[in-house]
Amino acid sequence: MATTPKPSSERGIGTVAIRWHGSSLELLDQRLLPGEEHWITLEGAAGVSQSIRDMVVRGAPAIGISAAYGVALAARHAGGGDWKAEIKQAIRELAASRPTAVNLFWALQRMERVFHACHSLDEAVKRLAREAEAIHEEDLAANFAMAEQALEYIGTKEAISVLTHCNTGALATGGYGTALGVVRRLNEKKLLKEVYADETRPWLQGGRLTAWELSRDGIPVTLNADGAAAAIMARKDVRWVIVGADRITANGDVVNKIGTYSLAVLARHHRVGFMVVAPSSTVDMAMASGADVPIEERDGIEVREIRGIGLAPEGVSVFNPVFDVTPASLIDAIVTEKGVVHNPNMTGMRALFG
């Protein structure tokens, strides 16, 4: 029996990406969407780190949750000899899977604290599974709380259109969404006219995932090429750009999917609000600014090809950073489950996150 938290399905959300069964983890293979809904079953931490690296599962909170279950699996399947060394090695491998989203390291640190407090393998198996489930449940609860905070902040009484980037929905989180959680809540309250979804080159999270997950829940989504965002802001009545984050630093800079920074510049030019929605597990107060954050660069093949079909001359040199840094000065609000930082800067961030 899966023990995955259920509240999002009770709220009519048709998408789940992570299913926990106690001795195995199932991940919906996001590389195959929207064409195929295929679940991968994992029984060890190595498979989980590989799945994070290969983007079977992606999105900052979902990566953290999966890694936590990975540690729980490492305990569950530890040989019984030097079980502590086995779990430590699993944590190291999981930490090396992707570098940018801090939720991964945050979740692993939480798991590591519990692990260090365990005196036997039996205790570790139980407590690590419970901790991973708690991380999953808390993320879902944070999603709901952020959506409420954001709606209060937006404060609209009439239906509005918004624009989003990448995929920040049920597929990327514990089950409701960060930026897409706000979109869902606007829709639930009949305050959403339209959400424009950037297709999000090169991995196409917007086209393959956001458009899929929103359409199956009946949320009015219009897909656009990334390059159309300026024209949309100029010609359509978009009030807010709403995005998620992979890491928010102590000065309020936001590291998120490549292309987010351009959207923030465009939004400021067009006087459109720019909102970042992320749980506090995405906040990294140990990093002074976005310039310090390691930005993942992925294989150029992601830009040169799509599913084996060449889009550019074979072997052409490609620069493929998959995240960028949006300076705090371009952001109107960072919404977390702990509250909203308006016009973020070091002082505002410290007031909320210490």
Active site residues: 246
d(CA 173, CA 183): 14
Q: Residue 68 or residue 121: which is nearer to ligand MRU going by CB?
A: 68
Out of 4, 161, 224, 256, the only residue in the binding site for ligand MRU (CB under 6 A) is 256
d(CA 248, CA 254): 5
The mark string for 312-351 relative to ligand MRU (x by CB under 6 A, - otherwise) is: ----------x-----------------------------
Pick from 16, 22, 25, 64: nearest CA to 45: 25
d(CA 272, CA 7): 33
- 160 Cβ neighbours under 8 A, 6+ residues apart: 154, 186, 191, 192, 193, 237, 239, 240
What's the DSSP call for residue 177? B
Q: Which positions from 194 through 213 interact with ligand MRU, judged by CB under 6 A?
A: 205
Out of 90, 101, 221, 254, the only residue in the binding site for ligand MRU (CB under 6 A) is 101
With contacts defined by CB under 6 A, how many residues of the chain interact with ligand MRU? Answer: 17
Should residue 70 be labelled a site residue for ligand MRU when binding is judged by CB under 6 A? no
Within 167-320, strands assigned E span: 192-198, 221-224, 238-243, 247-249, 254-257, 273-277, 283-284, 305-306, 309-310
Q: Which stretch binds ligand MRU (CB under 6 A): 114-122, 212-220, 227-235, 241-249?
A: 241-249
Tokens of 310: 């060449």
Q: Which positions from 257 through 316 interact with ligand MRU, judged by CB under 6 A?
A: 257
Out of 8, 49, 149, 168, the only residue in the binding site for ligand MRU (CB under 6 A) is 168
Binding site for ligand MRU (CB under 6 A): 58-61, 101, 166, 168, 172-173, 178, 205, 244-246, 256-257, 322
